[in-house]
Amino acid sequence: MTRFLFACMVMLLLTQQSMSQVKPEWEAIFKQISEAVDKNSKAYSSLLEVTRKTGHRLTGSPNGEKAEAFVFDLLRSYGYDPVYQSFETESWSRGTLTVKINRLTYRAVSLAHSPVKANVSAQLVDMGNGLEEDYLGHEAGVKDKIALVYLGILPGSKTGVHNLHRSEKTALAIKYGAKGIIFINSAPGNILLTGTASVTGKLITIPAVCISNEDGLKLKVSLQSKPAAAQISMTNFSGNIKARNVIATLKGKTKAGEKIVIGGHLDSWDLATGAIDNGIGAFAIIDMARTFKTLHLQPERTIEFVLFMGEEQGLLGSKAYVAAATKNGSLNSIQYMLNFDMTNDPRGYSASVPADKVLFEGIGAFAKQIDTSFANTYSSGFGLHSDHQPFMLQGIPTGGASGRLGPEVLKCYHADCDDMNLVNEAELKNTVRFGTMLLYGIADSKMLQAKRMSDDEIKEQLLKSNLKEPLQLAGEWRWKDQE
């Protein structure tokens, strides 16, 4: 497509509103970004270095502290004056674990925020998907028993079943009186998955563990013909520690008082190095910051690059950021929060609200002109369980890039196989390229249509998105009526 035809296409697509948001000069700037990242990206090499130097990046651990310092020094080497944002958190780390069912020992891993010490024995009862309807429809109940729950949605379940997070399924097990919960991993391959079982980031009252897909499905079959007795014995560590978000700021040219926050979590679980979750997101953001400095880019608005700790334990770092910004009044200056969590090889952009759809698609049109592999898709909607959530619940527009990861990668989510061999360097470069274009466009746009939502507007969107139940389970539904 010639430049003339492309320009005509863009002019036809853009409305009067969009022409006040999208700048023609972005085409040349985005080409610079694409070329600079293709030739000189440091995202892959930096991620490789941190995984070799620190291993996992568990919040509160010596490894986590080393990772914070590594990122701080890296951003400083790129010409920033980064700062630490310290916050206190309840640190959790695994100790010993034994899971026996009918006296046979099973391979298992403790889920985070399980008790410091537990030794429970009880009948094992199959609770299917572990949703509210499974408990209501189970005549024998789960009180004083150990629940066996599938981590995802079981094949053969009725259509339209909405899954819950493992922490929310644990909260339901506790609500109905279970003495413990054993999750069956959804991913095959004898993989063990970890993650928090707490909706609050605090210790839960029952032990929660995960066993492999193969072992769990065999158990489900055997429970149909004969009962089983289960025993979970564990020790863990928990105590208050300090963790640190790392923040680097690029001051805006003419609208420095308006801020775009781009963030992703640096921390990981401890079974592997967390290269995918969330090494690819965190180090893409760091490389975006490097690209801005390398090309001397200064958009109209201020950009804050934030690497959060404590996401895996309950969004602790992003909650601490929002709490501090609320206290000092800077929350009102945030126009968008862009979140990169396991974002990989983007093909489009997304936002919580559709107000700036034209802007996002206008940015994407330039990106597609540079690289036709970018499909320029767009989606909008509310979602939970990553660092955008605390911002979204305060009505701040959120967004990001819509990427893709193959099933061979996704099966290692929170598992002992999440290592550098899963990271595709070319796809990571794409995250940096298209992410930097999105970030620059939003920060440099003449105007932004999306505004901070009122409490009533937030509530309406949460209800439309069927997010009331998970927020109630987490104790974060702040509205008092019975809608």
Q: Write down the pLDDT at residue 90.
A: 76
Q: Write down the pLDDT at residue 138.
A: 78
User: Selecting from 3.50.30.30, 3.40.50.1100, 3.40.50.970, 1.10.3210.10, what CATH number does the domain 92-238 have?
Assistant: 3.50.30.30
Each residue of 15-38: pLDDT tens digit?
A: 444 557 999 999 999 999 999 999
Rounded percentage of the chain residues whose pLDDT exceeds 90: 91
State the DSSP string of 450-473.
--PPPHHHHHHHHHHTT-HHHHHH
pLDDT at residue 253 greater than cutoff 60: yes
Contact 293, 305 (CB under 8 A): no
Task: Give the range among 69-83, 138-152, 224-238 with minimum mean pLDDT.
Answer: 138-152
Under DSSP, the state recorded for 163 is P
Please classify residue 96 by burial: count the beta carbons closer than 10 Å to its beta carbon, then call 0-12 exposed, 13-18 middle and 19+ buried. Answer: exposed
pLDDT at residue 432 greater than cutoff 70: yes
Contact 368, 31 (CB under 8 A): no
Residue 307 to residues 82, 101, 119, Cα–Cα distance (Å): 11, 41, 37
Q: How far apart are CA 421 and CA 267, in angstroms?
A: 19
Q: What average pLDDT does the segment 128-142 reach? A: 89
Q: How far apart are CA 243 and CA 61, in angstroms?
A: 9
Instruction: Identify which has the larger pLDDT, 14 or 411.
Output: 411
E strand or H helix that includes residue 92: strand 83-101
Rounded percentage of the chain residues whose pLDDT exceeds 70: 95
Confidence of residue 483 (pLDDT cuts 50, 70, 90): very low
Q: Give CATH for domain 3-90+240-473.
A: 3.40.630.10
Q: Write down the pLDDT at residue 8.
A: 52
Each residue of 322-376: pLDDT tens digit?
A: 999 999 999 999 999 999 999 999 999 999 999 999 999 999 999 999 999 999 9
Contact 194, 151 (CB under 8 A): no
Beta strands 348-351 and 398-402, pairing class? antiparallel
What mean pLDDT, rounded, does the chain reach? 94
- Going 98 to 104 to 108 to 114, the CA torsion angle's sign is negative
Q: How far apart are CA 434 and CA 288, in angstroms?
A: 10
pLDDT at residue 52 greater than cutoff 80: yes
Q: Write down the pLDDT at residue 278.
A: 98
Contact 267, 64 (CB under 8 A): yes
Each residue of 340-355: pLDDT tens digit?
A: 999 999 999 999 999 9
Q: What is the dihedral of CA 371, 398, 285, 272, to 10 degrees?
A: -110
Contact 283, 325 (CB under 8 A): no
Q: Write down the pLDDT at residue 91.
A: 81
Q: What average pLDDT does the segment 242-264 reach? A: 98
pLDDT at residue 269 greater than cutoff 50: yes
Q: Given this chain, do its domains 3-90+240-473 and 92-238 carry the same CATH topology?
A: no
Each residue of 378-396: pLDDT tens digit?
A: 999 999 999 999 999 999 9
Q: What average pLDDT does the segment 252-268 reach? A: 98
The residue ranges of every structural domain in the chain are 3-90+240-473, 92-238
pLDDT at residue 5 greater than cutoff 70: no
Each residue of 191-217: pLDDT tens digit?
A: 999 999 999 888 999 999 999 999 999
Q: The tokens of 27 are what?
A: 């085409």
pLDDT at residue 418 greater than cutoff 90: yes
Non-local (6+) Cβ contacts of 332 within 8 A are 452
Q: By three-state DSSP, how is residue 124 classified?
A: strand
In this prediction the pTM is: 0.92
